[in-house]
Structure 1
Amino acid sequence: MKKFLFLLVLILMGALIVGCSANEADIKDKEPEETNEEDEEKIETSGKDELSGEITVWAHPFTGDQETEGAMWKEIIASYEQETGVKVNFEQIPWANRDQKVLTALAANNGPDVFYVIPDQMPQYADVGMLLELDPYLEGFDIEDFVDTALVSTTWKDKLYGLPILQEAYTYIYNVDVVKAIGEDPENLPATWEEFEKWAAKAKDKGFYATSFQGGGSMNGTLYPFLWQAGGNVVTEDNEVLINNEAGVEAFTFINNMYEKGWIPADSITAMEHDGLWESGKMLAVQGSGISVSRLLSQDNFEFVIAPPMKHKEQLTYGTTGMFVAPVNTDNPAAAAEFIKVMTNTDNQKKFNTVTQYIPTRESAKDIFGEQKYLEQLAGYTQYALPGVIHPQGRTIMPLIQAEIQAMLEGKKTPQEAADAAAEAVKGKMN
């Protein structure tokens, strides 16, 4: 609640600073009786005015090679400036304290016109009216080319507030030596929970761990994939808490069984990583993404293969999405929206993701990995990759759920009790 009030105060401050100039997001938030014919005309013509002026764009460093990354940004920005005649002032800001920097700048009305956000930020900002709705600016825009799962994180209450530039897809990466050691075929990897459980039992019998479980880390890499695969969810955008329904309890039980049977390490309750066990060949598989593949290739410790995301009732996994958004109090909304569109077109997605080695969110841009078989394989799995819990409280409920998972693994609660306690904790955070 404190964070909600803080954000709301910032919105009100921003509104006072920019005065009474209305854009389409302001108009649509009014009650029906407050919308007059002049406002309706603004909605219809919004985004169609001739572009002019300048905009400020904020983004973060995405690689360690700033020379190459800087050249990429110059090329992308030049393409936009040439196409629109709008000048771009680009600033790279650090990842640390990014929320505070963005919110403070927007409240003072000297923030960016376009900035980068991740899935747990977008609904926080959109829910209190901080973001510019992009739908009025997308007439004739090819939205169908985007991967459906990439648009999940850019949408709140049926309104689109951002366009995605990058995705990831987490799935199991298997050590081929261990697969062979347990008598299985690396070309026929587990596709379901039941198949994985059989392999896990064999791995345990041969002295290997089945997988890693970072109980001290993010729910995105621990509970959530299993929860989605079971057909469940944490909470809806209408604040209906689902984590303790039948699917939720099934996911809690699956994790608890892995711990009780010794398929995951004893320190899994609070562990942040099991890199040493995995890299020394003592683990059958780990969930990983493109970064994991790059690390394995650089180390060259053992041969590995990548499996499609597992399926139980659903075939789903986790994969973050990065997007560009515009604040509602931008002085140049049409130009800001146009930059987001140009930034995420096919050509610029290819440029950006070739440099950053993330997966494009447009199907038409995925051919950049034609010579990289592992990234090409992972690119095919983003259709199954959900970006997390898309809710304004998505970030704050994570430690509450984590505490109940840990209590369950410690033997203090049954899976049903842990799921019920997690549900009550989540309900306490709903507005």
Structure 2
Amino acid sequence: MKRKLIAAIGVAGMMISIAACGGGKDDNSDSGDKGGPESFKGKTLTLWAMDGSTPDKWLADLTAEFEQKTGAKLKFEEQAWNGIMQKLTTALSEENPPDVFEIGNTQTPSYAKTGGLADLSDLKKEIGADWAENLNKASVVDGVQYAAPWYFANRVVLYNKSVFKEAGIAAPPKTRAEFIAALDKIKAKGKAEPIYLPGQNWYHFVGLTIGQGAELVKKDGDKWVSNLGDPKVAAAAELYKQLQSYSKAPKDKDEATPQQADIFAKGKTGAFIGMGWEAATAIKANPAIEKEIGYFTIPGETADKPEGVFLGGSNLAVAEGSKNKALAKEFLKLALSDKYEGELAKVNGVIPNKESLNVNLKGNPVAEAAAPSAAQGGTTPLIPEWAAVENAPNPIKTYLTAVLNGKSPADAAKQVEGEFNKRLAQKQ
């Protein structure tokens, strides 16, 4: 698990993850809770969480306070990444589903559409007035609050301090123009590849579309179709092309083929755009690179507005079939309180659900670089139909490669829109 390695080297985990929490009920709870402290006594709430999501002390403190406050028991069951979506889907269809569970933010609409999630609108009114709107967006489906935002992560620029210094770059760039100027200086120096940016790092491209205010899909009657032909999407593609022109990376591969952190680890690359945890991958490949790694926010057009980024992360939800809904909401009130939300941000280096809690990220260079962009962040389209789009071969990757190989964004969009629309039309 990457987060464990990151903790060992002091680089906080910046994870895009799907995680699941579930609440089991004891066998005598089939009458349901009545929403009061007396009705909670003797009950058991089972918590499923993914490996790495709940730091040991954080969980111990939360468990003790929850049990003292409610008189109920909290049973924690750590879940493996592999197969969790199918496991949760099955659990939600059974007579005794988990009460509380953690789910990936972009997967929330799919679970909501199946009727598996409870309405948490009352919880939002009670404790969520200052949840960041863009972080909460994935928890709302058809105007209903079906989950609560928990923690998030986004990409930053990881750079080689020595390469930047040798090129005469005194400080990390704050604007897009300064970033391009820095890449020009590294290129002119001729000793290092300015940036490693493979042609199909599509999550960064999604961030660029968010920065342009673009949408990847649009409604055509009662169905969703490709919106890659939009001029705003084209503008994002042109920005990607400009950055990629400074890289020798293959135009038809993504950041994992080969691992971009392994390329950076060799010490001959100025920068790459990735998750904070990728520093651990680079350090594992070459321990000497650790002292050279720095981080900065992906620059936008102006210094006061960083580039748009894709926000991955997790929401917390309650099963519609739960017999312990009131108790589950008491758990969420505590887990999402400033005390525990702030501590989770501090220990795991993740973006909390409200901007005021970003103070907990101070001293963590990765998180400090990520936080400014989080306010400009968004997600892939929050529709159940989107899942099929990401299956290989991802048409957005094909689109990017076509643009980088010389096609206009408009022609590249036409090339893939048939496949794009076919996938959007698949039944979920």
Shift of residue 117 of structure 1?
Answer: 0.8
Match of 2:193 in 1: 209
Shift of residue 59 of structure 1?
Answer: 0.8
Q: Is residue 209–residue 265 contact of structure 1 (8 Å, CA) maintained in 2?
A: yes
Mark the CA change 1:296 to 1:191 in structure 2 (over 3 Å): closer, same or farther: farther
Indicate the RMSD between aligned Cα atoms, in angstroms. 3.1
Shift of residue 168 of structure 1?
Answer: 1.5
Q: Is residue 191–residue 310 contact of structure 1 (8 Å, CA) maintained in 2?
A: yes
Q: Percent identity?
A: 20
Shift of residue 346 of structure 1?
Answer: 1.1
The one of 262, 267, 280 equivalent to 1:281 is 267
The one of 87, 96, 112 equivalent to 2:82 is 96
Q: How big is each residue's C-alpha offset from its partner over 1:31-77, in whole Å with a ceiling of 9 and x where there is no partner? A: xxxxxxxxxxxxxxx996665233322111117xxxx9344323212
Q: How big is each residue's C-alpha offset from its partner over 1:406-428, in whole Å with a ceiling of 9 and x where there is no partner? A: 344345x4322222334443333
Q: Is residue 190–residue 196 contact of structure 1 (8 Å, CA) maintained in 2?
A: yes
Shift of residue 240 of structure 1?
Answer: 5.9
TM-score, normalising length from structure 1?
0.76
Mark the CA change 1:356 to 1:155 in structure 2 (over 3 Å): closer, same or farther: same
Q: Is residue 103–residue 317 contact of structure 2 (8 Å, CA) maintained in 1?
A: yes
1:22-421 equivalent positions in 2, closer than 5 A: 52=40, 53-62=43-52, 69-141=55-127, 143-187=128-172, 189-192=173-176, 194-207=177-190, 208-215=192-199, 219-220=202-203, 222-235=204-217, 239=224, 241-259=226-244, 261=245, 263-271=246-254, 272=256, 273-292=259-278, 299=287, 301=289, 302-312=291-301, 315-398=307-390, 399-411=394-406, 413-421=407-415
Q: Distance in 1 between matches of 2:398 and 2:228?
A: 14
Mark the CA change 1:161 to 1:300 in structure 2 (over 3 Å): closer, same or farther: farther
Shift of residue 136 of structure 1?
Answer: 2.7
Q: Distance in 1 between matches of 2:260 and 2:251?
A: 9
Mark the CA change 1:364 to 1:332 in structure 2 (over 3 Å): closer, same or farther: same
Q: Is residue 229–residue 310 contact of structure 1 (8 Å, CA) maintained in 2?
A: no
Q: Where does the alignment leave 5 or more consecutive residues of structure 1 unmatched?
A: 1-20, 24-45
Q: Is residue 150–residue 321 contact of structure 1 (8 Å, CA) maintained in 2?
A: no
Q: Distance in 1 between matches of 2:147 and 2:274?
A: 26
Q: Distance in 1 between matches of 2:358 and 2:249?
A: 40
Shift of residue 216 of structure 1?
Answer: 5.3
Amino acid at match of 2:140: T
Shift of residue 293 of structure 1?
Answer: 5.2
Q: Is residue 170–residue 385 contact of structure 1 (8 Å, CA) maintained in 2?
A: no
Q: How big is each residue's C-alpha offset from its partner over 1:326-347, in whole Å with a ceiling of 9 and x where there is no partner? A: 1221122222223222211111
Q: Distance in 2 between matches of 1:385 and 1:136?
A: 26
Q: Is residue 293–residue 374 contact of structure 1 (8 Å, CA) maintained in 2?
A: no
Q: Give the 3-state SS of the residue equivalent to 2:47 in structure 1.
A: strand
TM-score, normalising length from structure 2?
0.77
Q: Is residue 261–residue 282 contact of structure 2 (8 Å, CA) maintained in 1?
A: no
Q: Is residue 320–residue 388 contact of structure 1 (8 Å, CA) maintained in 2?
A: no
Q: Where does the alignment leave 5 or more consecutive residues of structure 2 unmatched?
A: 1-29
Match of 2:9 in 1: none
Shift of residue 234 of structure 1?
Answer: 1.0
Instruction: Figure out how many residues of one structure are paired with residues of the other and give that number.
Output: 376
Q: Distance in 1 between matches of 2:89 and 2:161?
A: 48
Shift of residue 297 of structure 1?
Answer: 7.9
Q: Is residue 168–residue 385 contact of structure 1 (8 Å, CA) maintained in 2?
A: no
Mark the CA change 1:179 to 1:116 in structure 2 (over 3 Å): closer, same or farther: same
Q: Distance in 2 between matches of 1:296 and 1:186?
A: 22
Amino acid at match of 2:299: M
Q: How big is each residue's C-alpha offset from its partner over 1:296-316, in whole Å with a ceiling of 9 and x where there is no partner? A: 788452434433332249742
Q: Give the 3-state SS of the residue equivalent to 2:386 in structure 1.
A: coil
Amino acid at match of 1:427: N
Q: How big is each residue's C-alpha offset from its partner over 1:321-367, in whole Å with a ceiling of 9 and x where there is no partner? A: 21111122112222222322221111112333344332322334333
